Every structure is written in structure tokens, then in C-alpha cells.
Amino acid sequence: MKIFNRDNGIDKVYVQVSDFTTFQKVDKPIPAGIYLKAMNYKFQSNDDKYNFIEYTKPEEIEFFRNFEYIVDYKEVKDKTITELQRLAKVANDEANEIADLWNELTPEEKKLNPNFIKKYTLLHHKIQDYAFVLWNKQRHIKLNMPLVPDSDAHFIVEDNNNAEPLLCQASIEPNTLLVYKENGHTISEDEINNFALLGGAIEWQADINKNDNEYFRNYHITKKLSEDKKLYIIEFVQPEYTEDLVKKPHDNTKVYNKNLN
């Protein structure tokens, strides 16, 4: 998965570690910085595949902008379960068509057409990205997204009672609000306590979460300062679901499974 963002005036793209294996399947030049970061990344555990790596050079951002087989998170994060399933099915149908064509080739023809296998593999990585978005909504997994303001989200409030106004903005990380100073200075608990409009911002974010994710429920709110004291983090914490979720519409009961196919 990839996330395009603008942080402190700098364009960035964050790319999920699980997509690093797609680079070797690309038939166009890869910027050296991208390849080096992918090669030097050290896996500590299987959960590292949910992490994101930051890229800032224009040629790196452009490469990922044109790489269609890594899903753009912001384009799909608010889609419904049905819409995500439909997107995954389109990619799966294309992969099946490639498999059918491949199976009709002779051994000699297969040697001359290695791109069939590459494209098939890339399509399944794309399906995996769609699955990660779905499972993150359902709280089966947690994507370890960068804790930075979402450049596509509107500033929520600004409290002019403070000597240095505090800004409150949605984070890239779902269900998280960030309070910070635009100049990057540290922030204190006392300043937070004087932030009169914070309660309204929290209610606003809760409504957004409910509208964007049909599985948002049973949450509690945690608040803490970041280690560098530059962010006040408000998180809407939901329980992790270890079984398939049951959604109960007005007319009947429908079970949503993790399988997207």
C-alpha cells in the first residue's frame, strides 16, 4: 500500500513493507534510493510487513505514483466492504485470465513470456493490499501507519486563547486525532487543558469515523503526549476482533468473512 501526503511543506509517500517484493517484478528503472531502502530493511518479526517506509525524493514519489499495482490507501480507505470486494474481484479476474493464457502456452513459449508470471504476482499483491484495508477496518489487523497529520483532511479547530495557537487535525492513522503547534514547538498538558474546543473536535472525529467505517463501534478514547512532546495524540481505540464480524442490518443478518474472493 502507498500513502501520498504533504508534511511540513514536503511531499512524501509512505510505502508498506509488504510491497517491497513487487519491485523485482517491475520492467522499468527503479530509483536507487527506493531499491536501497528495500534491500536494507531488517525484518524483526512478521508484523513488520504492516510498517511503512518514507520516501521524499521527487523521482521516488513519481515512481510510486505511476506504479499501479500498489494500492493508493487514500483512494480506497473510505470504500465500503462491497466496494473493496468488487475491486479485489476485478484484479482476481485479470489474474485468472493471465493464468488461463499461461496454461495454454508450450514450454518454449513460457520461456519467452516471463512477464506473464510477473504480472500475475503483481495482481495478487494488489489483492493483498485491498485485503489489508478491509481487515484494518474490521480490526483483524492494525496497519502501522506514520503518525502525521493527513494533508487531505481539513483542520478542525484552532483555539485562539493560547499564546501559540494549537491545531487539531486527523492523522493518516485511522481513528486518530493530532493536536500540535504549526511551528513544530513542543506542547504541554497545561496548554492542552486550555484548548477549549477540543471536546467538539473529538465529537466531530467520532462522527467521521462512524460514517467512514461501518465497523467503528465499542471504542474508548486514550490521550497522551508523544515522546518528543510535539504531538498530543487522541486515539479512538476499538477492540481487536479475532473472529469474523457479524453486521446486523435492519432487514436481516449478514456475516462478512475475511476472504475477498
- List, for residues 199-243, the tens digit of each pLDDT value: 888 998 999 888 888 888 888 999 999 999 999 999 998 887 654
Please give the backbone phi and psi of residue 232, each rounded to the nearest 5 degrees, phi first: -105, 120
For residues 215 and 230, give the distance between their C-alpha atoms in angstroms, rounded to a whole number: 31
For residues 204 and 96, give the distance between their C-alpha atoms in angstroms, rounded to a whole number: 44
Phi-psi region of 166 (alpha: psi -120 to 50; beta: other; left: phi over 0): beta
For residues 261 and 247, give the distance between their C-alpha atoms in angstroms, rounded to a whole number: 19
| Residue 259: predicted pLDDT | 33
Per the prediction, the chain carries an average pLDDT of: 85
pTM beyond 0.75: the answer is yes
For residues 107 and 102, give the distance between their C-alpha atoms in angstroms, rounded to a whole number: 10
| Residue 250: predicted pLDDT | 38
Residues of the chain with confidence (pLDDT) below 70 = 160, 162-163, 241-261
Residue (of 143, 142, 133) closest to 84 by Cα position: 133
108-134 residue pLDDT tens: 999 999 889 999 999 999 999 999 999
Q: How many residues in the chain?
A: 261
